């Protein structure tokens, strides 16, 4: 297995068995929670009813989301609260690939002792609503930390493609919260304690600068950027964001693999297949696992 072209720390190897998704389904269905109280959601929903978008592959793409929801995948019970991650699937802000970059990731995280909350955020073409959904979800998880047996001080985000962009914006927000406080839930912080951006999209302005909807002075938490050099469409943004974080002396690491393409989730068969084990090592290094 080749090492990344750029690895800004020495990462200890992790047994490959640790990165295998859980092979069996849960005995009981995961809990599903509405992100917003009825009638209180800021912004707009979709114009059409929620539906599954047709696809040539076996993965599920959900579009026209007007009712954002969190699906809870608890970590195995232990003697202390588990670290947790909100999972943001990709889909170009047109839909969410809810299984390949959502529930599959959640089960993999569960196998590592991490609670996962898969976010079905508003779409299509509703970036403002999606960010509101993620920020509210972070506050909601902290409010329910004891009930969900998660550690509110080890609550991060992991996002893929457009979901990686969403995770970056929650980590580097233009303002502390992108919507007015609606209830006591919003008194809890909506800042993630760490962020993992997997082949993130839309991180640059196409002129060599970080995208204008990223605030590099926002107190960005420890961040891991994962990308493949042969993802010609979006890797430039990761390189630009990495350079901006370096210039700002913001704690982060950048895993750049020679090959892998885009949109592989846990199914890469090229160099980027190492990203799950390297990510687990990084989480341990920053004290979030």
Tell me, what DSSP letter sits at residue 18?
G
pLDDT for 28 equals: 64
What kind and span of H or E run contains 186? none
Q: Is omega for the bond preceding 124 within 30 degrees of 0, making it cis?
A: yes
The answer to which of 1-5, 61-65, 220-224, 243-247 has the lowest mean pLDDT is 1-5
φ and ψ at residue 235, rounded to 5 degrees: -65, -30
Structure confidence by residue, pLDDT tens digits, 85-143: 999 999 999 999 999 999 999 999 999 999 999 999 999 999 999 999 999 999 999 99
Q: Give the integer Cα–Cα distance in Å for 108 and 18.
A: 8
What kind and span of H or E run contains 226? strand 223-228
Domain map (residue ranges) of the chain = 50-285
For the domain covering 50-285, report its CATH number.
Answer: 3.40.50.1820
Tokens of 73: 């995948």
Name 238's Cβ contacts closer than 8 Å, sequence gap at least 6.
197, 199, 200, 203, 225, 227, 254, 256
pTM of the model: 0.90
End-to-end C-alpha distance for the chain, whole angstroms: 24
CB atoms inside a 10 Å sphere around CB 178: 19
Tell me, what DSSP letter sits at residue 220?
P
Instruction: Tell me which residue of 141, 99, 140, 139 sits closest to 120, measured CA to CA.
Output: 99
CB atoms inside a 10 Å sphere around CB 134: 26
Name 199's Cβ contacts closer than 8 Å, sequence gap at least 6.
90, 160, 161, 164, 226, 227, 228, 231, 234, 235, 238, 260, 262, 263, 264
Measured on CA atoms in the order 254, 260, 263, 268, is the torsion positive or negative?
negative
pLDDT for 31 equals: 94
Beta strands in 4-49 (DSSP E): 31-34
How would residue 19 be classed by pLDDT, with cut points 50, 70 and 90? very low
């Amino acid at each position: 297995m080749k090492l990344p072209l750029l690895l800004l720390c020495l990462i200890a190897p992790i047994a490959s068995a640790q990165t295998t998704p859980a092979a069996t389904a849960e005995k009981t269905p995961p809990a599903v929670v509405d992100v917003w109280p009825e009638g209180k959601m800021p912004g707009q929903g979709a114009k059409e009813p929620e539906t599954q978008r047709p696809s040539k592959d076996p993965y599920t793409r959900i579009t026209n989301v007007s009712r954002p929801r969190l699906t809870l995948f608890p970590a195995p019970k232990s003697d202390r609260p588990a670290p947790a991650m909100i999972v943001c699937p990709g889909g170009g802000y047109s839909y969410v690939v809810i299984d390949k970059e959502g529930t599959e990731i959640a089960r993999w995280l569960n196998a590592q002792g991490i609670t996962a909350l898969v976010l079905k955020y508003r779409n299509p073409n509703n970036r403002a609503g999606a960010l509101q959904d993620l920020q509210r979800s972070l506050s909601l998880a902290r409010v329910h930390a004891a009930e969900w047996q998660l550690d509110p001080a080890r609550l991060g985000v992991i996002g893929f493609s457009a979901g990686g962009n969403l995770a970056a914006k929650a980590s580097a927000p233009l303002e502390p919260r992108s919507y007015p406080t609606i209830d006591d839930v919003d008194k809890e912080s909506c800042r993630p304690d760490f962020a993992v951006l997997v082949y993130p999209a839309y991180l640059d302005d196409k002129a060599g600068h970080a995208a204008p909807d990223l605030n590099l002075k926002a107190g960005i938490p420890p961040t891991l950027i994962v990308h493949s050099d042969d993802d010609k469409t979006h890797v430039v943004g990761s390189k630009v964001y990495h350079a901006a974080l370096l210039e700002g002396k913001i704690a982060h690491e950048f895993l750049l693999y020679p090959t892998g393409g885009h949109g592989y989730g846990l199914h890469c068969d090229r160099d980027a297949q190492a990203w799950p084990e390297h990510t687990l090592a990084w989480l341990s290094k920053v004290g979030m696992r």
